[in-house]
Amino acid sequence: MIHWLKVPNNPELAKYIACYWFLEKLPNAEGHNDYPKLNPDPASHLILALPQQNFRYKSDNGVTQMDGCHWLHPHGKTYELDHAKAVACIGIKFHVGALYSLPTFMDLQEQTPQAVVDTVEAISFENINFAQSNFDDHKLSDNNQLNEHDLVILARNSPDDCAEMLDKLCLPWLLKNHEDNHSELTRKVLPLLAKAAINSLGDTLFCSQRTLERSFLKVSGVTLKQCQSMNRLEAILEFLYQREQSDIDWVDIAYQFGFSDQPHLIRYLKKQLGLTPQDYALQRGFTIDVYGGVDSL
């Protein structure tokens, strides 16, 4: 199994893109859960894969099948993935609400951020607005025109070169961004969600709480409370991943992550994961548990 994560080198890209990542599970890999679960996420991911690569996203709302490249939009539900067969894909993870400022990624006049929440949207590699100027690069297979096959090979063999190529592809897109008061306010509030009560954020940013809530929902498609809850869940899963079951103190975790008591934490995890804390600790079936922490190489 190969996996890595890289952040953009260009600050203009880093304003909108959180990271690039790559995951490859080889055929007949031993010791892995073939059906890992993907926790709720307020961010959008652009998944790049070969046309014959199949993806399955199963939730309480049903099953979505997808082949090749696609958008994985913000989702408040836990997805069960199907990794029983070999899988290789590159992901571009955008910051929460980034697509609002990048209408060339999708037609936001018809698809608002709220409308695409909990959806998976097919897109062909050719229809992604990547910069396709001729790349003078011997790694490319077709007249210096990049395709998904080239990218997957590059991701597998040379993570740094792949991240550099993704920088080149994405920069022309992102330079066409448009900002307004809603997107600027959303960008300001995102880093505050982890350390402040939501009802205090309006005062912190010198605006009314109602204005802040409406702007955030307009840009991200989710509420401040939903985003904070999903971010907290990810932080809890990361915390638990680093610890053995015998080292987990659920009372301590409850207070560390801002829950009033252990029953509050139990209700939260049951709602978000469909599991009690003890069941989760036994099963460890989420993507971070199956594939490990995804670190930069």
Q: Name which of 75-79, 121-125, 133-137, 205-209 the model is least confident about.
A: 133-137
Residues 271-280 have pLDDT tens digits of: 888 888 888 8
Band of the pLDDT at 103, cuts 50, 70, 90?
Answer: low
Residue 209 has pLDDT above 90, yes or no: yes
Q: Output the pLDDT for position 138.
A: 45
Residues 6+ apart with CB under 8 A from 64: 56, 57, 58, 120
How far, in Å, are 9, 124, 132 from residue 128 at the CA level?
21, 7, 10
Domain ranges within the chain, ordered by starting residue: 2-174, 243-291
Q: Output the pLDDT for position 120.
A: 95
Q: Tell me yes or no: is domain 243-291 CATH 1.10.10.
A: yes
Residue 134 has pLDDT above 70, yes or no: no
pTM (whole model) above 0.85: yes
Residue 107 has pLDDT above 90, yes or no: no
- For domain 2-174, the CATH class is mainly beta
Q: Output the pLDDT for position 297.
A: 33
As a whole number, the mean pLDDT across the chain is 88
> What are 194's strand-pairing partners?
none
